[in-house]
Copies of this chain bind each other. A is one copy, B any other.
Amino acid sequence: MALNKSNLTVGDEHSEQIVDNLTRTQIIQYAGASGDYNPLHTDEIFTTKVAGYPTVFAHGMLTMGMTGKMLTNYVGDGRLTKYGVRFVAQVWPGDSLTATATVEAIREEDGVSLVDLAVTTVNQDGTEVIKGSATARIDG
């Protein structure tokens, strides 16, 4: 059922596991899809020996994209109008992430019904990796 003003309440939460055991292969797939071939995400030798990280890590935008899938699952196709995050902590191969949207406000703007959502994604240790907000159109 489409989200609408009568079936939404401030405080409602929608949560999904967006990745279970993130693989280096998925990070490489994202490099190929986005064209962002920064070696910190794909080259284990460079990243550990030269850059000094414990391992390659996910593009922040991959975490944001996987979190965006939770948002579009929740609000429906073509309804997300605004989406922004802070990149709070890195995401590593092997991480499992859960993303949650919480209804912050239900409002009208220029005759369009909108929902404002707080967005947070945590890893398997409960550490927040991104924190943000989104706005979507809803039925009146």
Q: Count contacts on A: residues with CB < 8 A to the other chain.
A: 34
A33, A38, A132 — most chain B CB neighbours (10 Å):
A33
Indicate if the CB atoms of B35 and A77 lie closer than 8 Å: no
A residues sitting closer than 8 Å to B (CB atoms) are 18-19, 26, 29-30, 32-36, 38, 40, 59-62, 64-66, 68-69, 72, 77-78, 80-87, 132-133
Per assembly, the copies of the chain total 2
CB within 8 A of A85: which of B18, B77, B83?
B83
- What are 30 A-B pairs with beta-carbon distances under 8 A? A29-B29, A29-B33, A30-B34, A30-B65, A32-B33, A33-B33, A33-B62, A33-B65, A34-B62, A34-B66, A35-B69, A36-B72, A38-B72, A40-B78, A59-B65, A59-B68, A61-B61, A61-B64, A64-B64, A64-B65, A64-B83, A81-B87, A82-B84, A82-B86, A82-B87, A83-B85, A83-B87, A84-B84, A84-B132, A84-B133
